[in-house]
Amino acid sequence: MRDKIIRIMLIIMIGAGSLQAVEEIPDDLQVRLGGYFITSQDTEMRLKGKNRPGVYLNLQDLLNMESSTQVFRLDGYYRFTPHHSLEVSWYSIKNKGRVDGGVEVPLGDYNLSASGRLDSTFNTDIYKVNYLYSFYHNEQVELAIGAGLHVMRFALGFDGEYSFTGIINEDGGGTSDNVAVTAPLPVAGFRVSYKILPELRVKYAADYFFIAFDGSTGGLVDTLLTVDYRITKNFGLGLGVNSTRMRLETELESARVLTINYDIIGGMVYGTLNF
């Protein structure tokens, strides 16, 4: 009986020691690698110039653009003091669509007519850099505010058998009349982190667009909810849900104004490296 009690006490001590080790490991650097499974996309583009009729495109409806896709995603943060840290994110969403003719698309001064197969692409590269200040931080709860940039680059292109206002694209390919826009969007946000268990933490992040920049105006709301589970000192797994809603209006050449409404939502599955 005594030996059994000793063994139980040893098991409890070892278990408590391992939990304490997980709880006390440094949390200065995290790299998060995984997949972003986008379940819904809606992309609207409006192009308007002075004394010209407006152009409206819904890429998913008109060009059979994909509404769901999977991409690689990189996130991470570096905490250089207990109250100051830096966050980064990067992912690239590549969409494509195909129609087999019978499509009329007004593009400013031109009319795009698909006389045969028409392939279209709409690619979005997203870079996020945020500075965070933790104004409340104890062993269980962390509250922070921050500011940074969401840099978003949009590129729309066409390939296939098409014509512009009756002028046939003879080589059957090319990327005529592409539109590419890079928009650095200054954001402000807040973060909430709650440690349910030493190994289990829930985090919520929200960022908001708040100022015009270099001829671009608009609004952005980006929210991210994640659950991280620490398996070992330096490795963990996580799940998340990310939603981005954006409206951007930017001035192009020839006094044209491009408006983009871009809504995406998706789930994340990732591994974490912690140091």
pLDDT band at 9 (very low <50, low <70, confident <90, very high): very low
Q: What is the pLDDT of residues 223-251, one digit of tens each?
A: 999 999 999 989 999 999 999 998 888 77
Extents of the domains making up the chain? 26-105+124-153+182-274
As a CATH number, domain 26-105+124-153+182-274 is: 2.40.128.90
Measured between alpha carbons, how far is 224 from 149 in angstroms, rounded to an integer?
Answer: 16
- Closest alpha carbon to 200 in 241, 175, 225, 230: 230
| Token code pair at residue 187 | 């954001």
What pLDDT, on the 0 to 100 scale, is given for residue 205?
Answer: 97
**Token pair 């006490």 is at which residue?**
9
pLDDT band at 174 (very low <50, low <70, confident <90, very high): very low
What pLDDT, on the 0 to 100 scale, is given for residue 5?
Answer: 40
pLDDT band at 115 (very low <50, low <70, confident <90, very high): low
Which range, 2-16, 63-77, 172-186, 246-260, has the best average confidence (pLDDT)?
Answer: 63-77
Measured between alpha carbons, how far is 107 from 127 in angstroms, rounded to an integer?
Answer: 29
pLDDT band at 274 (very low <50, low <70, confident <90, very high): very high
Measured between alpha carbons, how far is 271 from 48 in angstroms, rounded to an integer?
Answer: 44
Residue 21 has pLDDT above 80, yes or no: no
What pLDDT, on the 0 to 100 scale, is given for residue 95?
Answer: 87
pTM: 0.78
What pLDDT, on the 0 to 100 scale, is given for residue 20?
Answer: 42
Residue 214 has pLDDT above 90, yes or no: no
On the CB side of 54, how many CA atoms lie within 13 Å of its CA? Answer: 8
Q: Do the Cβ atoms of 250 and 215 come closer than 8 Å?
A: yes
Q: What is the pLDDT of residues 60-74, one digit of tens each?
A: 887 888 889 999 999
